[in-house]
Amino acid sequence: MLQIKNRETAKLSPLIVSALLATTLTACGGSSGGGSEQSSSSSESSSSESSSSEESSSSSSSEDNTDGAFSIDPDFQLYALADFPVGVAVSAAGESYSIFNHSDATQRQNVITEHFSELTAGNIMKMSYLHPQEDTFTFGDADELVGFADTNGMTVHGHALVWHSGYQVPGFMENYEGDFAAMLSDHVKGIVNHFESEFPGTVASWDVVNEAVDQGGENGFRQSLFYNELPPASEGDIPEYIRVAFQAARDTGAEIDLYYNDYDNTANDVRLAKTLEIADGLAEGDLIDGVGFQMHVYMTYPSLNDFENAFQEVVDRGLKVKVTELDVAVVNPYGGNAPDELEYDAALAGEQKQRFCDIARVYLETVPAELRGGFTVWGLTDDESWLMNQFRNATGADYDDVWPLLFNADLSAKPALQGVADAFQGNACNSDI
């Protein structure tokens, strides 16, 4: 089992960080759309919607930055309030919003080391980035990211060793003519072993397989390239490729936690049952340590009971629960909100603070300390979120911002950050800002 790395030995002094941050807490700039296109169809959809038409009322603890963003001046470091990894997905290398190349990269790094203890690569540790050709692994960009985490006493949650989606599937794996299971096993081992030998203990966990469930697929499993090559060995089994990938990761002997990760598996009973079927199949061979819930959620959907029930199912199996990709869009486009009606006012900022708090509270109340795999948000600042592209693609409407994360575009902290902190500190959740 894993140890949480000791942040205090490596990170910058909070005083230095605070001084650096102070220079960035200027009025919030206009937020642009997401910096990258995304092709994943994954999102939790529902017929419910959330919006607030209440008049805004500013409070002394919150600054209205005039363009609809509200900020707080945190007197805490979020990760220090938790005894489990508190993570953030980041862009790196030459991506938009890269923590190494963006114009505000230094400030971005400072906010990240101030409030988080774990990083997930939003993209650059996916399959084709690390393993573009059968005999070629390319670790340079990922090493820069993992090295940054290592230097700052943080861990990394690896994402993802096997995922069906789009361009990130290495071309050589398609129409592969050799032994597919052996190739997949080498893929997993090559990646896990690299980080384990270069940065021992830093990549502490992996999404070994991501998004294998599909209600429209065969027996509820997605008929991906991997499924087609290595389907269930017999009726009622989980797909063989999942077993092969987890077995390979386990066989490395690395002290890492192995997760099965999926979306829309809290309120959706069918998808939850399939997720649990995969977990049970892997648990028989002691091949899995936990289940990742992506949790791309909305203000009122799924319900807190849905989260509790889903987490409890995993806890009952003695497996870890990790919130792997949390974001809370303040609008549900599938519920019919028109983007020109969107206004992120003080009431909505307060409701979102309460929503983040409630989600974190349910996590803490349902998952015992020894099974808390971590709590990760999918991006740092609202303007970098993948959701605007997702909503545009899904509806054709122009969603400029859906304010789903914990920091404003100018890197100032939102009341939502206070919400998570309240839950981590055992304080009651409220919408006061």
Q: Which contiguous run of DSSP H or E holds residue 215?
A: strand 213-218
CB atoms within 10 A of CB 23: 9
**Which residue from 5, 31, 40, 173 is in contact with ligand G3I, where contact means CB under 6 A?**
40
How many residues touch ligand G3I under the rule CB under 6 A: the total is 17
**Which residue from 18, 24, 38, 309 is in contact with ligand G3I, where contact means CB under 6 A?**
38
Site string for ligand G3I, 93-132 (x = CB under 6 A): --x--------------------------xx---------
Q: Does 167 bind ligand G3I (CB under 6 A)?
A: yes
Which one from 114, 229, 325, 351 is the annotated catalytic residue? 325
231 to 290, contacts with ligand G3I by CB under 6 A?
Answer: 263
Contact 388, 42 (CB under 8 A): no
End-to-end Cα, the chain, rounded Å? 39
The tokens for 208 are 């070994």
Q: Does 138 bind ligand G3I (CB under 6 A)?
A: no
Q: Give the C-alpha separation, 296 to 302, whole Å.
A: 10
Interface segment toward ligand G3I; rule CB under 6 A; list 32-40, 80-88, 180-188, 284-292 = 32-40
State in angstroms the smallest separation of the CB of 166 from ligand G3I: 6
Site string for ligand G3I, 66-95 (x = CB under 6 A): -----------------------------x
Q: Does 393 bind ligand G3I (CB under 6 A)?
A: no
318 to 347, contacts with ligand G3I by CB under 6 A?
Answer: 325
Interface segment toward ligand G3I; rule CB under 6 A; list 35-43, 105-113, 359-367, 422-430 = 35-43
Q: What is the DSSP letter of 182?
A: H
**Which residue from 37, 54, 269, 284 is in contact with ligand G3I, where contact means CB under 6 A?**
37
Residue 229 annotated in active site: no
Contact 424, 80 (CB under 8 A): no
Helix then strand then coil, % of the chain, to nearest 5: 40, 20, 45
State in angstroms the smallest separation of the CB of 432 from ligand G3I: 31
Q: Give the C-alpha separation, 262 to 42, whole Å.
A: 9
Which one from 211, 229, 240, 384 is the annotated catalytic residue? 211
Residue 54 annotated in active site: no
Q: Give the C-alpha separation, 237 to 211, whole Å.
A: 17
| 3-state secondary structure string across 38-72 | CCCCCCCCCCCCCCCCCCCCCCCCCEECCCCCEEE
Contact 129, 123 (CB under 8 A): yes
> Which residue from 186, 181, 92, 211 is spatially nearest to 133, judged by alpha carbons?
186
Interface segment toward ligand G3I; rule CB under 6 A; list 38-46, 100-108, 179-187, 213-221 = 38-46
Question: What residues make contact with ligand G3I under the rule CB under 6 A?
Answer: 36-40, 42, 95, 122-123, 165, 167-168, 210, 263, 294, 325, 386
Catalytic sites, residue numbers: 211, 325
